[in-house]
Amino acid sequence: MQTNPTHTSLVAIGDSFTEGMSDLLPDGSYRGWADLLAGRMAARTPGFRYANLAVRGKLIAQIVEEQVGPAAAMQPDVITLVGGLNDTLRPKCDMGRVRALLEEAVERLTPACKQLVLMRSPGREGPVQQRFRPRMEELFSYVDDLADRHGALVVDLYSAPSLADQRAWDVDRLHLTAEGHRRVAEAVWQTLGYEAEDPEWRTPMPPTPPPNWTARRVEDVRFTRQYLLPWIGRRLTGRSSGDGLSPKRPDLLPYEGPAA
């Protein structure tokens, strides 16, 4: 890893985590950690270029089929790849196939960029995470192995106490808040070798009084009706929240946007 490197381009691929949900901007679009990271890098390097091919709901097979080729063809300085977690949350998941597809992606992306960045995704505390945690940890162990073999960097978000805090997650309990995305951007920034702007990004948030029983039950009912039941419905019918959607930044172009 370089210290205070200079990168001229970034391509981010993956699913909703990299697309930026739920870091909502006033115009209804999503920002997210990758946009924030690109803004910081662009502030240091005139003419910096950025593409974000991530689309919500994508499984690792779709990421490999739809995003890896275009990302590799762009030949950027940095590529970030985060994928496979949606697969682990499916009732039936072939982890052998997930591992094989991740390896294919890494083998194709490594020679196409100066630095490939992989991640151990953050894990929110809760019953859903507990149920699928063994699969998630198997995935992250394989990410570490791929990084060792191919010279990729790994951003360890999974072990960060600040990102396990429920307050870092939106009401859908699947996507990070703006503050969560800010901390992820800082983590990737530091892993790439830039000087820390927030050395305490891993530090837990200050304690606050927990909501009372009634407030928790109201929130649980809202979550079930608005998010959980539709999510289950999509799983049962084979649909995805990203069906028919295109990447928000499909081309590697000069970036003008939020820098922090």
* Number of separate domains in the chain: 1
What pLDDT score was predicted for residue 259?
A: 45
- The reply to whether 2 falls in a domain is no
Q: What is the CATH number of the domain that holds 158?
A: 3.40.50.1110
Do residues 157 and 192 make contact, with C-beta atoms less than 8 angstroms apart?
A: no
Q: What is the pLDDT of residues 165-197, one digit of tens each?
A: 888 988 776 899 999 999 999 999 999 999 999
| CA nearest neighbour of 86 among 186, 19, 168 | 19
What pLDDT score was predicted for residue 227?
A: 47
- The reply to whether 259 falls in a domain is no
- The reply to whether 260 falls in a domain is no
Residue-number span of the structural domain to which 164 is assigned: 9-254
The span from the CA of 137 to the CA of 127, in Å, is 16
Q: What is the pLDDT of residues 220-255, one digit of tens each?
A: 556 555 545 555 565 555 655 656 799 999 999 999
- How large a percentage of the chain has pLDDT more than 70? 80
pLDDT surpassing 50 at residue 33 = yes
pLDDT surpassing 90 at residue 110 = yes
**Mean pLDDT value across the chain:** 87
Residue 243: Cβ within 10 Å count: 11
Residue whose entry in the numeric block shows the structure tokens 């929130």: 219
Phi, psi of 113 (to 5 degrees): -145, 165
- The reply to whether 1 falls in a domain is no
For the CA atoms of 158, 190, 258, 123, the dihedral, rounded to the nearest 10 degrees, stands at 0
- The reply to whether 136 falls in a domain is yes
pLDDT surpassing 90 at residue 212 = no
Do residues 157 and 203 make contact, with C-beta atoms less than 8 angstroms apart?
A: no
- The reply to whether 224 falls in a domain is yes
Of 44-48, 91-95, 99-103, the poorest mean pLDDT is in 91-95
Q: Which residue has the higher pLDDT, 204 or 7?
A: 7
What pLDDT score was predicted for residue 204?
A: 87
pTM for the predicted model, two decimal places: 0.86
Cis peptide before 22 (omega within 30 of 0): yes
Q: What is the pLDDT of residues 128-138, one digit of tens each?
A: 566 788 999 99
- The reply to whether 4 falls in a domain is no
What pLDDT score was predicted for residue 234?
A: 55
Task: Extract the tokens encoding 139.
Answer: 């995935």
Q: What is the pLDDT of residues 35-57, one digit of tens each?
A: 999 999 999 999 999 999 999 99
Task: Extract the tokens encoding 216.
Answer: 């928790």
